[in-house]
Amino acid sequence: MLTDSKLRSLLSYNPTTGVFTWLVDGRNQHQRAGAKAGCLAPDGRYKIGIEGKRYLGSRLAVLYMTGQWPPRLVDHINLDASDNRWCNLRDASSSENLHNMRAKNGRVGLKGVVFDPYTGRYRARIKVHYKNLHLGRFDTAEEAHAAYVAAAKMYYGEFARAK
């Protein structure tokens, strides 16, 4: 497994910009000393190839800065998976990482809100520990969303995402 000392001998990491650059020449034209390391993958994350293995830039940033591999997932606070600035990265469990996600654009377009066609009202719900919790029925989507936002702050803390 890649160690922090091996990583530091191959790459330089700028925590302010989140960019890795090569310190040594590699086997191809993209791995030249001073060149930006890695490429943006289709999923929006930077991946860097080192000695035949591909690594996520966010995980390499944690190794570079702390000297240890991240024990869990690395969450991008601003939801931009290509933004590997040190101030944008944090340790997260799988469920915490899921809390910090954008809402899927449904009919209503507000996170935690669904329209109930049988009652003609909006239902607010939140998932906690793999269970859906019913937060109530409301006359407007905005009221239902406000209930979701309050519950998200209570249950998810710093990982709460309103949008």
CATH number at residue 132: 3.30.730.10
In a domain, 32, yes or no: yes
Q: Which amino acid is at 107?
A: R
In a domain, 17, yes or no: yes
Among 73, 104, 130, which residue terminates a domain?
73
What's the pLDDT at 101? 64
| Helices and strands of the chain, counted as H and E runs | 4, 10
In a domain, 123, yes or no: yes
Whether residue 11 is found in the same domain as residue 63: yes
What's the pLDDT at 47? 96
Q: Domain count of the chain?
A: 2
In a domain, 142, yes or no: yes
DSSP-derived pairing of the beta strands 121-128 and 39-40:
unpaired
In a domain, 80, yes or no: no
Whether residue 66 is found in the same domain as residue 110: no
Whether residue 117 is found in the same domain as residue 148: yes
- Separation between Cα atoms, residue 130 and residue 132, nearest integer Å: 7
What's the pLDDT at 4? 95
What's the pLDDT at 161? 66
In a domain, 87, yes or no: no
Handedness of CA 69, 71, 73, 77 (dihedral sign): negative
- Using an 8 Å Cβ cutoff, are 90 and 83 in contact? no
In a domain, 131, yes or no: yes
Residues 6+ apart with CB under 8 A from 64: 4, 7, 8, 11, 13
Q: What pTM, to 2 d.p., does this model score? A: 0.71
Whether residue 62 is found in the same domain as residue 8: yes
Whether residue 111 is found in the same domain as residue 61: no
Whether residue 9 is found in the same domain as residue 66: yes
* pLDDT one digit per residue (tens) for the chain, 163 residues: 899 999 999 999 999 999 999 999 877 767 899 999 999 999 899 999 998 899 999 999 999 999 999 999 999 988 889 999 999 999 987 776 766 666 665 667 788 888 888 999 999 988 888 788 999 999 998 999 899 889 988 888 777 665 6
Whether residue 46 is found in the same domain as residue 12: yes
Question: What digits encode the pLDDT tens for the residues 33-70?
Answer: 999 999 999 989 999 999 889 999 999 999 999 999 99
Q: State which residues form the domain around 149.
A: 96-159
In a domain, 89, yes or no: no
